[in-house]
Structure 1
Amino acid sequence: MAEAAGDGRRLRVDLDIDPSDDWDCPIVSEVPDASDVAVNAVGHECTVDVQPADGDGLVRARGEVSDDCLCRIFQGFGCVPHVRRVEDGTMLVTAYVDDRDTVRDVVGELREVLDHVRLVRLAVVEGPEATEQVTFDLSALTPKQREGLELAVVRGYFDGDRDVGLGELAAELGISKSALSQRLRTAQAKLVTDVFDEIEGAESDSSHG
């Protein structure tokens, strides 16, 4: 894993997370829609303050922190998750990490215990006010383009020392290598040119600054 940046530069990752039906968490069990959620997890217990999206009074609930809890997974990688909203049970979670290896590891572990985890946005941020330098936004893509590009990013396909090939990714998606290649080219054309190189360059500069 890359060393932590020493100049305040980090990656901001936004994830859409759909919990499984048997996931017992007060973040989603108290209200179906929330405009903000504050979580305080200490040891094996957590306290959650949920602000309903309809503006009704704050809801406070308590729960037990288990191995498949969102907070414990993020904390295991030294990250602090911020649940920005909940819509129909789907959470938008933001966290700041040191490098893309951590993004892949966090997403991979979340997917082992939760139904759906989608990478929505990845941005390089810098300085005390977290000014965004480079943004990788999947929202402009079609569902198939988003699925292919997200898998490629999470699996490290765009990394210089990647150990995953196009054929492996295509097999995981159930499509041909040529179809995936075209899908990735089209998706990248919709994004900022060479955004992956810019993100890697920003991470490299931060680790050597």
Structure 2
Amino acid sequence: MAEVAGDERRLRVDLDIDPSDDWDCPIVSETPDASDVAVNAVGHECTADVQPVDGDGPVRARGEVSDDCLCRTFQRFGCVPQVQRVEGGTMLVTTYVDDRDTVRDVVGALRETLDYVRLVRLAVVEGPEATEQATFDLSELTPKQREGLELAVVRGYFDDDGDVALGDLAAELDISKSALSQRLRTAQAKLVTDVFDGIER
């Protein structure tokens, strides 16, 4: 097993994911609400142990791993998906990535095949104990602020070598450049304030 360097930083990514109508996933086939999920996808077969919220014990479900499968999509980018819970068919999935480029790639790939993918939280984790250094809780933002910030992250607007223009992002959202700029400033200020409030506590 490879060792993790003591000064290595990674990003924890939490995503809300809704399957598409024709997506036959064993994680959600047994119950729309689960408090615990363990998934083992090997080759072309997937086995999921799902703990229904209103059930007595875990239910085992099996399925076939297709090219647009959740697990296969994460594996393409060297990521391991961890399903934290299922509520109303929506999965909260956590994964760890090395950089923002991978966040963009994973979210973009998921959105190509799934009905709904929302970035819920980003956290910087550091060291062998994976201690969280800063957490950005996107659920505190307004829908419009979150939409603008998600698009900016996914398109690489904040990347050091990014060449994405604010006007291009605004055009995608069908709003003015000044309106998007205001949304991004307000969202960033809110996130930074929350992070420092958490550190002070």
TM-score in same-fold range (> 0.5): yes
Q: Number of residue pairs matched?
A: 191
- SS of the residue aligned with 1:158? coil
Q: How big is the alpha-carbon RMSD for the aligned residues of Structure 1 and Structure 2?
A: 1.6
Rounded to whole Å, the distance in 2 between the matches of 1:7 and 1:55 is 43
Amino acid at match of 2:23: W
CA distance in 2, matches of 1:72, 1:31: 22
Whichever residue aligns with residue 109 of structure 2, its letter is E
Q: CA deviation at 1:131?
A: 0.7
The residue that corresponds to 1:201 in the other structure is: none
Paired residues of 2:5 and 2:127 also in contact (CA < 8 A)? no
SS state of the match for residue 182, structure 1? helix
Distance 1:8 1:52 in 2: 36
The aligned runs of 1:1-209 (5 Å cut-off) are 7-192=7-192
User: Any idea what SS the aligned residue of 2:192 has?
Assistant: coil
Q: Distance in 1 between matches of 2:192 and 2:5?
A: 24
Deviation at 1:6, TM superposition (A): 7.2
- 1:145-179 CA deviation, whole Å, 9 max, x = no partner? 11101111111111221121111111111111111
TM, length-normalised to structure 1: 0.87
The one-letter code sitting in structure 1 at the alignment partner of 2:62 is R
Counterpart residue type for residue 69 of structure 1: C
The alpha-carbon deviation at position 136 of structure 1 amounts to 1.7
Give 5+ residue unaligned stretches, structure 1. 196-209
Using the size of structure 2 for normalisation, the TM-score is 0.90
Is the 8 Å Cα contact of residues 40 and 48 (structure 2) preserved in structure 1?
yes
The runs of at least 4 consecutive aligned structure 1 residues that moved more than 4 Å come to none
Change (3 A) 1:160 1:87: same
- Distance (whole Å) between structure 1 residues aligned to residue 6 and residue 164 of structure 2: 30
Runs of 5+ in structure 2 lacking a partner?
A: 196-201
> Does the Cα contact within 8 Å between 1:38 and 1:83 map onto a contact in 2?
yes
Q: In structure 2, what is the Cα distance between the partners aligned to 1:62 and 1:93?
A: 19
Distance (whole Å) between structure 2 residues aligned to residue 80 and residue 109 of structure 1: 15
Q: CA deviation at 1:5?
A: 7.0
